[in-house]
């Protein structure tokens, strides 16, 4: 069944039923991405964009290539990230500053034989601690992706995103070995992070708490939790870049 045939077989009532089924996921995803929102957007805006993304996925869905749930969730989150990216006002200078912070973290860790704190990183770059935290706060805005980024491969050839969604039931031994190796490397890098940063990552990615909920658990402000999250991601990116260069 091709996309046009599938689309034609969906009644308005069926579409409303599908939207109702996916609404909890849409709201949850919007809430999870809310800490990345620029001033011009709200969580409600992301929910609306997510619904549009869902309807778009129904229009383009081909049942023979992937499960609807897998494809729709992929398009919903992608539509939200596209919207955030569209309002992204991050300048090239900000991205350069983020890279400077990352490289400074790697350099100081080698010199100190431990993870540097924010004050040490700020001093090494001759900036105030407030400026350091401001860059961390803005860092999430430069770590977003859009579907257009994956519209072609390195040879300039068009690619079909749907064809690149992995089959979750597949058992590729090489892929499993690579995944296990990558997980082991990442786990080792996370293990040497400062305790609060490890805890924030654990609560956010494993327990799936929001930044606000983590703040309540740790008796910290939501802003401080965001700082710890950004700082941890910055350290990990630096460590991974250093490991890849070895």
Q: Where are the domains of the chain?
A: 3-86, 92-143+172-245
- Flag the least confident range among 129-138, 220-229, 234-243: 234-243
pLDDT at 146 over 50: no
Q: At what angle do helices 43-60 and 12-32 cross, to 10 degrees?
A: 140
Fold entry, domain 3-86 = Rna Polymerase Sigma Factor; Chain: A (1.10.1740)
185: closest CA among 107, 106, 239? 239
At residue 43's C-alpha, the angle toward residues 40 and 44, to 5°, is 95
Distance, CA of 203 to CA of 200 (rounded, Å)? 5
pLDDT at 148 over 50: no
Q: Which residue has the higher pLDDT, 246 or 26?
A: 26
Distance, CA of 209 to CA of 161 (rounded, Å)? 29
Residue 243's pLDDT band (cuts 50, 70, 90): low
Q: Which tokens belong to 71?
A: 């494809």
- Condensed to tens digits (0 to 9), the pLDDT of residues 208-217 reads 788 888 889 8
121: closest CA among 34, 8, 230? 230
Q: Which residue has the higher pLDDT, 242 or 72?
A: 72
pLDDT at 66 over 50: yes
Mean pLDDT of the 9-34 span = 85
| Cβ-based neighbours of 3, under 8 Å, separated by 6 or more | 59, 60, 61, 62
Fold entry, domain 92-143+172-245 = Butyryl-CoA Dehydrogenase, subunit A; domain 3 (1.20.140)
Q: Do the beta carbons of residue 238 and residue 106 sit within 8 Å?
A: yes
Strand residues in the chain grouped as ranges (E): none
68: closest CA among 10, 119, 135? 10
Mean pLDDT of the 82-96 span = 73
pLDDT at 171 over 60: no
Percent of the chain with pLDDT over 70: 73
Q: Counting beta carbons within 10 angstroms of the beta carbon of residue 81, is it exposed (0 to 12), middle (13 to 18) or buried (19 or more)?
A: buried
Burial 94-114 (b: 16+ CB within 10 A, else e): beebbeebbebbbebbeeeee
Residue 10's pLDDT band (cuts 50, 70, 90): low
pLDDT recorded at residue 245: 62
pLDDT recorded at residue 153: 47
Mean pLDDT of the chain: 76
Distance, CA of 119 to CA of 127 (rounded, Å)? 9
pLDDT recorded at residue 163: 52
Percent of the chain with pLDDT over 90: 7
Q: Do the beta carbons of residue 3 and residue 62 sit within 8 Å?
A: yes
- Flag the least confident range among 16-25, 41-50, 139-148, 214-223: 139-148
What are the DSSP calls for 156-177, one per residue? S-B--GGGGS--TT---HHHHH
pLDDT recorded at residue 142: 52
Residue 9's pLDDT band (cuts 50, 70, 90): low
Q: Which residue has the higher pLDDT, 190 or 38?
A: 190
Residue 154's pLDDT band (cuts 50, 70, 90): very low
- Condensed to tens digits (0 to 9), the pLDDT of residues 108-124 reads 888 888 888 888 988 99
| Cβ-based neighbours of 31, under 8 Å, separated by 6 or more | 43, 210
Distance, CA of 190 to CA of 184 (rounded, Å)? 10
């Amino acid at each position: 069944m091709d996309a046009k045939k599938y689309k034609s077989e969906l009644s308005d009532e069926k579409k409303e039923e599908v939207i109702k089924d996916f609404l909890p996921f849409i709201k949850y995803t919007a809430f999870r991405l809310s800490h990345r929102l620029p001033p011009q957007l709200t969580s409600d805006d992301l929910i609306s964009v997510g619904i549009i993304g869902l309807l778009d996925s129904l229009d383009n869905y081909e049942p023979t290539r992937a499960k609807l749930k897998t494809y729709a969730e992929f398009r919903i989150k992608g539509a939200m990230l596209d919207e955030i990216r569209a309002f992204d006002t991050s300048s090239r200078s900000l991205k350069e500053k983020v890279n400077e912070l990352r490289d400074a973290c790697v350099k100081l860790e080698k010199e100190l034989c431990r993870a540097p704190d924010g004050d040490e990183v700020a001093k090494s770059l001759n900036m105030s601690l407030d400026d350091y935290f401001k860059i961390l706060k803005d860092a999430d805005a430069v770590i977003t992706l859009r579907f257009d980024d994956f519209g072609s491969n390195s040879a300039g050839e068009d690619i079909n995103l749907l064809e690149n969604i992995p089959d979750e039931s597949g058992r590729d031994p090489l892929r499993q070995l690579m995944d296990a190796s990558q997980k082991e490397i990442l786990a080792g890098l996370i293990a040497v992070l400062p305790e609060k940063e490890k805890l924030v990552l654990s609560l956010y990615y494993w327990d799936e708490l929001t930044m606000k909920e983590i703040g309540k658990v740790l008796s910290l402000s939501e802003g401080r939790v965001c700082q710890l999250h950004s700082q941890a991601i910055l350290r990990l990116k630096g460590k991974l870049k250093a490991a890849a260069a070895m």
